Chain A
């Protein structure tokens, strides 16, 4: 029944998103990019794709950061265009997508203040999709409670701070903990909202967000080995999503990668991540699996979950292009094929 009324409000947007999806780089186009010898060649190859003349006004010599910035700007323009056309449920859905970037911006502003950075310089580097009006005022950061009371209480992130106000000293470690707690609360809230969406959006988003929860739990476990994070803190920042919830306690006590492998292998989907003989590491497998899920999400019609899938696919595409550009710039052609391509 969802197909009867979906197109009234969201038909145009879904058509737009599917058009953007068809413009994503394919495997053969990636192969052409990997055969470029210079960044100017890369720019020329990209001009024959959906990117067009996105770097027409950029003078030589090119840099990889410029390529990344210009490619990302294209994504942000398209996202903002879709967002400006959205209403009602879709508008709220797209707002939820931006909350993740807002959290990154908050963490960046607080970190920049503590690191005695110039405020205008940090503001330029904030994620455009995570911008909110009171973001510049975060530079007066003293402690998290005053930040919350003066600035963050009026932002959409306010509900996510309920568990973060006990930390009173802002340093690199605490900011990292706050960031992860915020993201955990955001992810759980997003999942809760997505379950109110009509089918099949709720099913697709459930699949994608559950995987996101698992991915974060494993990344936190793996990357916090040998750091000062205690098991209690790790348990507090693991999202309560995904197939690994029964194993969170064990994951919080992991001290080496072999133990992690043993725990995660209990989940059938992730077992093959560790057993493969290729050069891919764990993060590569995660990104590959996520891209497979995003590609499969487009097989469903009359659903707004395609927007999330498109955004994640496009971000992966920008990462791929940046990686290829870095390999060309550093003359490391043997590693140039370590990108993720599913379309």
Chain B
């Protein structure tokens, strides 16, 4: 026995981005009622909420996979450029030069957004910082000396150092190869992508929960209908109903 399926491709394929015009807020109904696809025949004119949410979930999964690929690419590029920097300058860019002093965080998450700090004008007062640090490290920091040519620059560098921003790459020195900066840039970009990944995971998770909730509601409704049918059937079989039918028939 053969089963012939005469299904047009246009009936099956739906381009969510183009045809469904999905809004950003997925809590609201996504699909307008009486939607009809342009091509093909015999397509359902309405798409229920669950299907719309599933379509959106699939979109998010696709976006998530692309995001993962981008993260992998950026991390690979970062590590490769770091290896290249080490190729040009062995033993210069390893853990020997890590700065273990307290540093302000360069990247912060505020209101769900990633903020990467950049160089700012020195706002903090260098004198206060010096007074604080002097009892702790009286021998290492000695900024109250007279300045020479180089130390003129050092004073401006001291202000920069006392400001809230310090580029961590400078712990390896001041004259650094381009590949090291490229490595840093790749890792920073991967940080933004990781934030995006986190957002996608949260959205997918919530969407999936909603789809399951809709599924549970549908099952409950089905059960209610079944029970109602049962009750109706029982009522029909009751003696009172039987007599009513007999009376009406007569």
Report A's interface with B, CB cutoff 8 A: 65, 68, 104, 108, 111-117, 122, 125, 127, 140-143, 166-177, 179-180, 219-220, 222-224, 227-230, 232-233, 281, 283, 287, 315, 318-319, 322-323, 326-327, 330, 332, 335, 338
Q: What CA separation (Å) do A222 and B88 show in the bound complex?
A: 14
Query: What is the distance, in angstroms, from B159's C-beta to the closest C-beta of chain A?
Result: 11
What are 8 of the A-B contact pairs (CB < 8 Å)? A116-B101, A117-B100, A167-B148, A169-B143, A172-B170, A228-B160, A232-B149, A322-B86
Q: What CA separation (Å) do A220 and B177 show in the bound complex?
A: 9
B124-181 contacts to A (CB < 8 Å): 139-143, 145, 148-151, 153-154, 156-158, 160-161, 170-171, 173-178
Contacts beyond the supplied A169-B143, A169-B151, A327-B83: 16 A-B pairs with Cβ under 8 Å:
A68-B90, A115-B97, A115-B101, A116-B100, A116-B101, A166-B148, A168-B154, A174-B150, A177-B150, A220-B175, A223-B175, A223-B178, A232-B149, A283-B177, A330-B76, A330-B79
Contacts of A224 in B (CB 8 A): 174-175
- Assess whether A175 is in contact with B173, with CB atoms less than 8 Å apart: yes
* B209 sits at the interface (CB 8 A): no
Task: Evaluate whether A169 and B145 lie within 8 angstroms (CB atoms) in the complex, with A115-B101, A142-B139 already known.
Answer: yes
Interface of B, helix, strand, loop or mixed by DSSP: helix
Query: What is the distance, in angstroms, from A332's C-beta to the closest C-beta of chain B?
Result: 6
Query: What is the distance, in angstroms, from A239's C-beta to the closest C-beta of chain B?
Result: 14
Chain B residue with minimal CB distance to A282? B178
- Assess whether A166 is in contact with B96, with CB atoms less than 8 Å apart: no
* B98 sits at the interface (CB 8 A): yes
Task: Evaluate whether A332 and B80 lie within 8 angstroms (CB atoms) in the complex, with A167-B151, A169-B151, A177-B174 already known.
Answer: yes
Chain A residue with minimal CB distance to B90? A319
Contacts of B150 in A (CB 8 A): 166-167, 174, 177, 233
- Assess whether A322 is in contact with B87, with CB atoms less than 8 Å apart: yes
Contacts of A143 in B (CB 8 A): 142
Contacts of B83 in A (CB 8 A): 323, 326-327, 330
Report B's interface with A, CB cutoff 8 A: 76, 79-80, 83-84, 86-88, 90-91, 94, 96-101, 139-143, 145, 148-151, 153-154, 156-158, 160-161, 170-171, 173-178
- Assess whether A172 is in contact with B151, with CB atoms less than 8 Å apart: no
- Assess whether B158 is in contact with A171, with CB atoms less than 8 Å apart: yes
Chain A residue with minimal CB distance to B85? A283
- Assess whether B174 is in contact with A283, with CB atoms less than 8 Å apart: no
- Assess whether B140 is in contact with A114, with CB atoms less than 8 Å apart: yes
Closest 3 CB pairs of A and B: A176-B174, A326-B83, A125-B96
- Assess whether A229 is in contact with B175, with CB atoms less than 8 Å apart: yes
Q: What CA separation (Å) do A222 and B175 show in the bound complex?
A: 9
Partner of A222, one of B90, B96, B139, B178: B178
Query: What is the distance, in angstroms, from B138's C-beta to the closest C-beta of chain A?
Result: 9
Query: What is the distance, in angstroms, from B207's C-beta to the closest C-beta of chain A?
Result: 34
Partner of B76, one of A65, A166, A176, A332: A332
- Assess whether A335 is in contact with B174, with CB atoms less than 8 Å apart: no
Chain B residue with minimal CB distance to A323? B87
Chain A residue with minimal CB distance to B152? A230
- Assess whether A227 is in contact with B174, with CB atoms less than 8 Å apart: yes
Q: What CA separation (Å) do A174 and B99 show in the bound complex?
A: 15
Contacts of A220 in B (CB 8 A): 175
- Assess whether B174 is in contact with A142, with CB atoms less than 8 Å apart: no
- Assess whether B96 is in contact with A171, with CB atoms less than 8 Å apart: no
- Assess whether B145 is in contact with A115, with CB atoms less than 8 Å apart: no
Task: Evaluate whether A318 and B90 lie within 8 angstroms (CB atoms) in the complex, with A167-B150, A172-B170, A330-B80 already known.
Answer: yes
Q: What CA separation (Å) do A166 and B149 show in the bound complex?
A: 9
